[in-house]
Structures are given as structure tokens and as C-alpha cells.
Chains A and B, each alone.
Chain A
């Protein structure tokens, strides 16, 4: 993970490492060394708990392990066990569907809406845009009860569709994509019109490819939001049929499951996030620094 992402404003400030005079360069060197050490200590604070999870998850059961000793050997037994015992694989599958389906539907519907809101004139457009943006001011917890009542009336409690449906309304996605679509030159659309491209083709072959960067970023965040979500899945997925990994982990933790089992499950739940980060770090960092996407 040593990707060197250039900062948005790189170049505005000359690199401090190229200080001209030698006495200054020496103090600068010392300063850099201290700085590196301080950051290494802080990194320990952020990373050590994650390493502890991995060690506990991979320690043989009943063998002495953290915090009093390091295990003499590591094993995958715990991981294999949680996949064979209980409902863990089902939770994993539910979490995957909850996240993956949401990503696809949110991105598609949000891109369509964003395109219309940015490029088409139709009655009620501005009112709708304002209404969508206004919903960003309402915390999801404030509408938890009526949303639950609605889903229960529709028969969606303890079902995957009941879990997924209400989370598809994503104002932030629409807002962000709309900014991109607005910045596209009008000539692009004129050319498409002259070439006789229909509305859907214009959207599919011109808009979508051009907004790929923002879609990639949003995909990451929508995935993480859903994968890590607790309150809504807790409320609507009370049986195993619709129980997600976070809810399952929380119940494992309160039950008397062994530490090695809980940590193995926790480790598995974190791996997709880690993989996404390793592959797409650039997108994540850039989007936060530019637009303040909040997860």
C-alpha cells in the first residue's frame, strides 16, 4: 500500500525536501526522522488492533495467545469452522447481496435521475431537485420507525428485498453525479442528437462512460455504507433469512461464542473492505479530499 497519490493541490507548494542550504537541510533531515517516528507510533495505534484481530482469528483454539503470549503457530481452523458451523455463510451472502444489489441499483437510478435533472427541462424539475437535496438534512434514524412500518405493511420484514429497498434512495449519489453531468459540454449532446442517437442511447453510450470516475467512487462508498451498516439491518432482518454480517457479528459478540470464533468472523468481514481499499485507494482518497463524501 505504497501508492503515491498526488494531492489535488500538489505543486502549489515546493517540496520541502529540496531546501538549498546545508545547515537547514540537516535540521530538516532530523525533523523528518522525528516525524517518521511519530507517525510510526500513531500507525501502531491504528493498525495494532487490526493485527490483533488477525492473530486471534488465526490462533489455534485453547492455545495461549494474545494478550499474554504470541501463538506458537497459526491455523485456518477457526475460519474453516465458522464457515461450516451455524449461519455465518448465509450472513455473508446476505451482506454481499445487500451491498452489491444496492450498488448497482443506486448507481443506475441515480445516474439516470442526475442526467435528467442536469440536462432535461421538465415540469417540477427544480422542486424535485430541492426535495431530494433536502432529504440529506434528515438523519436516517429519524425516519427509522415509519420506514419500518411501511416495509412491514408491504410484507418485507425479514426479507432481502425489504432490507434493500429503502436504502436505494441515495440523495448524495444523485447530487454528486449531477455535478459531473452538468459539466459536460453541450456540443457532446448536440453531436449525439445529430447522429440520431435516442435518449437512452445518449445516456448509455455518452453519459455513462464519461461519469465512470464518479461512479467508481460512489460504488466504493455505497458498498462500504451497506457492508458496514447496522441499524436498519438490525431492525428489519431479525431472522437468519435476512440477517447481515454486522448484525450476526453483533449477536455473536453478545452470545458466548469463543473469542477465536468471533475474531475469525470479524476478520472475514473486513477482508472485502481491505481488498477494495488496496485496489482503489486512489479513488477513495481523492473523493474524500475533493467532495467530502461521508460514509
Chain B
């Protein structure tokens, strides 16, 4: 399929298809009008859906964050008050701290696991398909399901503590103990559920590497580790960066596992940014304030996306 080479461009962040196709030798004005009409009719459903449920809410989020908004539609313009309130809200800073800590644990963890999985699969000759499937399967589950399974695994009478008990240790309060332990437990669940995706991206990156370079490294006497560190990894850098950004964004959006496993606790130890937004919006119905939290999330994700774009554009211009 020749199209696949083109779809790859999302990987490199380039969008060659955004330029207009060459003009067709039409000339007849009526034909052009017909074409325009057909085009508009074909995009119409999308235009309506996007107008109502994407464009409007995006502007709505910005506008609502400047108001105090109640469910019956009454609102009061506050200016930047929601943002100054955020800046002074210890719960906001707590949720930011939780989120950054979580990202700091989750991102290296998932990159390490998915890269390791990809490298092992890449070296394997037989049963590649079987092992790839076995490693990928958790990706099909929902975070809710992953949370339910791991709640049981981490529970005081779960298998993990049963094993630790057999060794004369524990019980370890995986989801109710100190903050770092709880966030680590949550990260384990997300890595288990999510690493298959990044692993496949890494695997594709590895398969695309020219064999000659590795052969040359081997002839020069580089061992497996050296060859990985000095040849494979540098060649894989763009892919690593792509996965890094994607997984960082995923990390910042952590919610489902927290909702299922800890409810943001113990004592706000896992009260992430989205959880904060959810609480303010749907527990306290403070919609204006919750919208401001959403805007903060958007800014964080935007900065990450821009870093990604800057990186790839810089690479392209060389």
C-alpha cells in the first residue's frame, strides 16, 4: 500500500498534504460553482458537529473561565478572578504537584518498558507475532477495567500482599500509603494498560533501521549493549521523542485509574489536575472555576505540542 508512506508523515510531524492540490483545467464557472456546492454539502455534517461540539466549547471554555457560572445559565463576569483564585488555592497547587510527580514517574517508566519490549521483540526470530500479541493485549482494556484488576492485585488480601506475606513482609498499602507509593502504583496500572501502543511504535522504528549500521558496529567489535547505546538509540531518537511527548500528554490527563482506585486519596495524595477539575465541576458545580482549570490543562498540553513541533521543524530544516 503506497498510502502508508504518506500516513507516516504524522510520525514526523510534517503535513505535506496541507498544501492545495494542483488546479484542474476547468475554466467553466458553472462547473466550479457546482464543485464548491458539492464540497460544502459534503462537509456540512462535519461543520455542524464541529461547530457545536468543538469550536463552540473551545471558545466557551475560555469565556466561562472568566465568569461565575451556575447550572441554570446565570453567570456573572469576573474577569481574571478565577485565575487569581487558582493561584491562591492550595488544592490547585497540590493537584499540579500530584500531576507533575505522576508524570515524572509514569513517563520514564512507560518509555523504559515499551522500549525494552520493542528491543526484545525486534531481536526475536520465532513466535514474534505471538509475543507481540501477548504484550499488547492489556492495551485493549479500559482504564476502568485495569483499575479494577489492579485494585484487587494491590489490596490487602490480594495476590501481591499474599506473596509478600509469604515472605514475612507487608501488608504494603499500595493504594493508601505514602504519596510516592500510591502514585507509583497508579503508574504501574497505566503502564500495564498502555505500554503496548508505544512498544509497537518503537518496534516500527527499530525495524526501519538499516541493517548495515548494526553490522558495521558489530564488525567494529561493539557488543550488544554498546551497539544499542551508541547506534540503535541515537537512530531511534526522533521516535523516542515522539513517544515521549505523546505519553507525557497522556500522563497529564490521568483520571480514570485514580477515579477507580483511590478517589484522589489518601488525603489528596493522588488528586490530579483532571480530578480537581472534575471535583470542582461536578461535585461543587463551580463551572467557571472548573473551566479555568481546563484552560490551564490546555496551556500545558499546548506547550508540549509546540515543543514537539519545534523539535521536528528544526530537524526538517537541516
Contact = CB atoms under 8 A, between A and B. Distances in A.
Interface of A: 1-5, 7-10, 12-17, 31-32, 35-36, 38-40, 42-43, 45-47, 49-50, 52-53, 56, 66-68, 109-110, 112-113, 115-123, 125-126, 128-133, 135, 137-139, 141-150, 152-153, 165-166, 168-169, 171, 174-176, 178-180, 182-183, 186, 199, 203, 213-214, 224, 227-231, 234-235, 246, 249-250, 253-254, 259, 262-263, 266, 269-270, 273-274, 276-277, 281, 284-286, 288-292, 294-295
Contact of A113 (B43, B123, B301): B43
The residue among A1, A49, A150, A273 with the most chain B CB atoms within 10 A of its own CB is A49
A250 B259 contact: yes
A110 B33 CA distance: 23
B246 interface: yes
A146 B46 contact: no
Nearest to A199: B38
Contacts of B168: none
Consensus secondary structure, chain B interface: helix
The 7 A-B pairs at the shortest CB distance, nearest first, are namely A120-B39, A146-B60, A228-B142, A67-B159, A122-B39, A116-B42, A289-B204
Contacts of B126: 17, 32, 36
A183 B295 CA distance: 37
B241 interface: no
Contact of B142 (A8, A118, A230, A289): A230
B38 A149 contact: no
B55 A135 contact: yes
20 contacts: A1-B129, A7-B203, A16-B123, A49-B192, A52-B152, A113-B47, A116-B43, A120-B35, A122-B35, A143-B54, A144-B281, A145-B64, A145-B287, A146-B60, A146-B64, A149-B64, A169-B53, A178-B17, A273-B140, A292-B242
Contact of A39 (B1, B120, B162, B242): B120
A288 B201 contact: yes
A47 B10 CA distance: 31
Contacts of A13: 207, 209-211
B231 interface: no
Given A125-B39, A128-B47, A249 B144 contact: yes
Given A45-B192, A288-B201, A288-B204, 19 more contacts: A1-B129, A9-B207, A35-B123, A39-B121, A42-B120, A116-B38, A116-B41, A116-B42, A122-B40, A135-B55, A139-B252, A142-B298, A143-B61, A230-B259, A276-B140, A281-B133, A289-B204, A291-B7, A295-B197
B123 A234 contact: no
A6 to B, nearest CB: 10
Contacts of B226: none
Contacts of B40: 116, 122
Contacts of A286: 4
Consensus secondary structure, chain A interface: helix
Nearest to B281: A145
A165 B53 contact: yes
B141 A270 contact: yes
Contact of B140 (A10, A67, A224): A224
B43 A128 contact: yes
Contacts of B157: 67
The residue among A13, A153, A263, A270 with the most chain B CB atoms within 10 A of its own CB is A13
B277 A144 contact: yes
Contacts of B259: 230, 234, 250
B145 interface: yes
B57 interface: yes
B137 interface: yes
A231 B131 contact: no
Given A145-B61, A231-B256, A231-B278, A176 B148 contact: no
B137 A109 contact: no
Contacts, number: 349
B53 A166 contact: yes
B145 A230 contact: no
A47 B7 contact: no
B264 interface: no
B106 to A, nearest CB: 16
Contact of B135 (A43, A199, A203, A259): A43
A45 B4 CA distance: 33
Contacts of A133: 15
B245 to A, nearest CB: 11
Given A137-B302, A289-B203, A292-B242, A2 B278 contact: no
Contacts of B147: 250, 253
B22 to A, nearest CB: 9
B159 A138 contact: no
Given A49-B192, A112-B45, A16 B260 contact: no
Contacts of B169: none
Nearest to B63: A146
Given A113-B43, A128-B43, A135-B55, A42 B201 contact: no
Interface string B78-122: 000000000000000000000000000000000000000100110
Contacts of B10: 175, 291-292
B290 interface: yes
Nearest to B32: A121
Interface in B139-194: 139-145, 147-153, 157-159, 162-163, 192
Nearest to B53: A166
A66 B163 CA distance: 12
B307 interface: no
Contacts of B139: 295
Contact of B69 (A10, A66, A149, A171): A149
